[in-house]
C-alpha cells in the first residue's frame, strides 16, 4: 500500500520515480481527495489511463466532505468524481450532526428512508 498526496499523484503521472507504484504496491490511497488542486485532480484522472494504473490493483480515495456537493458547486472535477464513485458511502449527517435536517448530498438522499 502507498499513500499519495497531490504532489505524488502529479509525480506518478509525469513519470517521476517517487510517486509511482512498484510491482509489490498494489493499493494506492488518496486521503482527503477534495483538497487536491485542479491540476492534481486532472493528474489523478489521467492516472486512470496511464500504464502505471495497470500495476495498481486498487485506488482508494477518501473525503470528509460531500464530493457531490463540490461537483455541483464546480469546485471538484465531475469526471474524476464519477470515476472515483465506485462505492459511495454517505453518513446520514454531515458536519457536527446537530441538525437532523442537514443531510449530506441532500438531493441524492431525497425520498430515501432514514
Under DSSP, the state recorded for 33 is G
| Host H or E run for residue 59 | strand 58-61
> Which pTM value belongs to this model?
0.69
Q: Which residues contact 38 (CB under 8 A, 6 or more apart)?
A: 77
Q: How far apart are CA 68 and CA 60, in angstroms?
A: 17
Q: Residue 17's CB: how many other CB atoms inside 10 A?
A: 8
- pLDDT tens-digit profile of 45-76? 888 777 666 666 688 888 888 888 899 999 99
What is the number of alpha carbons within 13 Å of residue 113 lying toward its C-beta?
Answer: 0
Residue ranges in the chain whose pLDDT is less than 70: 16-26, 51-57, 86-114
Q: What is the CATH number of domain 2-109?
A: 3.40.50
- List the chain domain ranges: 2-109
Amino acid at each position: 500500500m502507498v499513500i499519495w498526496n497531490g504532489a505524488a499523484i502529479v509525480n506518478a503521472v509525469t513519470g517521476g520515480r517517487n510517486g509511482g507504484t512498484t510491482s509489490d504496491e498494489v493499493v494506492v490511497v488518496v486521503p482527503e481527495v477534495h483538497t487536491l488542486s485542479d491540476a492534481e485532480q486532472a493528474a489523478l484522472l489521467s492516472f486512470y489511463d496511464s500504464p502505471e494504473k495497470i500495476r495498481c490493483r486498487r485506488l482508494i480515495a477518501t473525503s470528509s466532505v460531500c464530493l457531490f456537493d463540490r461537483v455541483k458547486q464546480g469546485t471538484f472535477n465531475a469526471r474524476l468524481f464519477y470515476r472515483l464513485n465506485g462505492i459511495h458511502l454517505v453518513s446520514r449527517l454531515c458536519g457536527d450532526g446537530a441538525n437532523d435536517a442537514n443531510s449530506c448530498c441532500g438531493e441524492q438522499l431525497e425520498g430515501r428512508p432514514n
